[in-house]
Homo-oligomer: A and B are copies of this chain.
Amino acid sequence: MKQIYDLIIVGGGPAGMTAGIYSARQRLKTLLIAKASGGQMSRKAVNIENYPGLGNISGFDLIRKFESHLKEQKIDIEKNTVRKIKKDKGLFSILTSDKKQFQSKTVIIASGADPRPLEVPGEKEFIGRGISYCVSCDGPLFAGKTVAVIGGGNAGFEAALSLSSYVKKIYILEAGAKIGAHQDIQEKVEKTGKVEVITEAGLKKVEGKDFVESAVYQDKKTKKDKTIQLQGIFVEIGSQPATSFVKDLVSFNEKDEIIVDPKTNQTKTPGLFAAGDVDNVPYKQIVIACGEGAKAAISASIYLQKL
């Protein structure tokens, strides 16, 4: 007979790993399913300076610390991608992309978010040939080159700061009139002397032959098109929650985030919880995602006690 888990956690970022630590310590029979550890921490281009108690630490090192903490717990881990979650007669069935099936009494969705695409001509052709969604993965390939970062929020400025240590020149293109990045990171970027920030720049297309050669944007003030010669484009315009596998069991807000009760992290389906960047709790931060993962695991445990 196939075993039934008390809790299956979908996702291996800060929310999912914290939920795993909490559920194992409450002796729930737990399975964590994730393709890789760390979630968006693995895409962090600069050091993480705001996870309390750890000062200044790279995303890579923080992931290792979470992983080793999680591995001290009694918990099953499956490296896989979830394709579909169904609920039938009070039990959740989780189907993976390679057609394995797992059953559980409760589920925590902590699948995070994927980078939001540009949706302009040229984007798809040049992915991996000049267009990247991950500075920490691909940045060093552009040493000595000219690049653009699309997006003037924290992520865009962090990307520019990281790139500035080895690229020649960086444009930050922001579609809006205002820069959203926090003051501290703006100051650091300015000090590099390598970054030109262009606001009200609406990216129109990416051009090139085999690799990216230029980007065309509309200057929204003058309504004129302008072209920048460059070799790389890093996309940092936010993310979209990873929820395709669970559409029927939850409700979404206008940002496609799963709506939860912010006190318990329960979704509209009893026994189904969500935590971290995938849900509608505002302010996407590692320590906030951790707090939510802990809440969701405690809520799952209380739900199980009442069964």
Contact = CB atoms under 8 A, between A and B. Distances in A.
Nearest to A49: B25
19 contacts: A21-B50, A26-B182, A27-B183, A27-B184, A51-B53, A52-B290, A52-B293, A53-B62, A53-B65, A53-B66, A53-B69, A54-B54, A54-B65, A54-B69, A55-B72, A283-B298, A288-B295, A289-B291, A290-B290
A68 B55 contact: yes
Given A291-B288, A291-B291, A22 B50 contact: yes
A68 B56 CA distance: 11
Interface of A: 14, 17-18, 21-22, 25-27, 49-56, 62, 65-66, 68-69, 72, 182-184, 262-264, 281-283, 285, 287-295, 298
A52 B26 contact: no
Contacts of A283: 294-295, 298
B298 A294 contact: no
Contacts of A289: 291
B282 A291 contact: no
B292 A52 contact: no
B184 A26 contact: yes
A277 to B, nearest CB: 13
Nearest to A24: B184
Nearest to A17: B52
B290 A25 contact: no
A285 B290 CA distance: 11
A18 B263 CA distance: 20
B294 A26 contact: no
Nearest to A19: B52
Q: Which of A49, A53, A285, A290 has the most CB of B within 10 A?
A: A53
B52 A21 contact: yes
Given A21-B52, A56-B72, 13 more contacts: A18-B287, A22-B50, A25-B50, A27-B182, A27-B184, A53-B54, A53-B69, A54-B65, A54-B69, A55-B68, A263-B282, A282-B295, A288-B291
Contacts of A52: 14, 17-18, 21, 66, 69, 290, 293
A304 to B, nearest CB: 12
A288 B281 contact: no
Nearest to A264: B282
A254 to B, nearest CB: 15
A183 B26 contact: yes
Nearest to A263: B262
Contacts of A68: 55
